[in-house]
Amino acid sequence: MLCTTQPTPAAVRIAIIDHYDSFTHNIDAWLHSVVPRVRTEIVAYDDAAAVAALQHAPCPLVLSAGPHSPTEAQPTLDLLTACQGKVAVLGICLGFQIICAWLGLAVCRSRCPQHGRRRTIFRCRRGGLLADLPMTFTAAAYNSLAVPRPSTLPSHWYASAVSAEDELQAIEFRGAKPICGLQFHPESFLDRGSAPLLRRWLRLAAE
């Protein structure tokens, strides 16, 4: 459940899809730090029964980071297909890469792999999930894989941010049930000022 003094409606159930990464618990803590009374459910991506239950009764999803590649997370790819257009989705790091792979974008070795460092991020548009952040900001990077900035995207999908290496850092589907992916880690202790980003996604998720 979600109940805050913010203009976010109540009664929103959020499932965190865990790709067996310690950052999953950081994401859970981040959600609670921004919206203290939010209720979350952590679901292992390969828990077939739990994932099937989400496919039949979907709720807003947060796709966690993880140590592997999108090709090793087929259950999450299938879950995205089942839940498309039904719930809002937020993918972080591996979760972002899974969204990109699901769209058919290339996921490859980063030109500048970084783990536990701040990276400069450049926004590509003024609206969307990052609307409350500066056009240039720093964020926590923990990735060896990356998605090169594509020349084109499917209709209603937007490249929202890139790195200096022109690797995609944020992607969004702006529909009734938005899908948003972030290569960087807004839940990291290295991050500053990510609360507006999460509040905006929670409002979108609750609509």
Active site members:
93, 185, 187
Q: How far is the CA of 65 from the CAs of 4, 26, 43, 194, in angstroms?
A: 27, 10, 13, 17
Q: What secondary structure letter does DSSP report for 89? A: E
What lies within 8 Å, CB to CB, of 147 at 6+ separation is 96, 97, 100, 105, 106, 107, 108, 167, 168, 171, 183
Q: Are 169 and 185 in contact (CB under 8 A)?
A: no
Q: Which residue has the tokens 């203290």?
A: 36
Q: Are 175 and 158 in contact (CB under 8 A)?
A: no
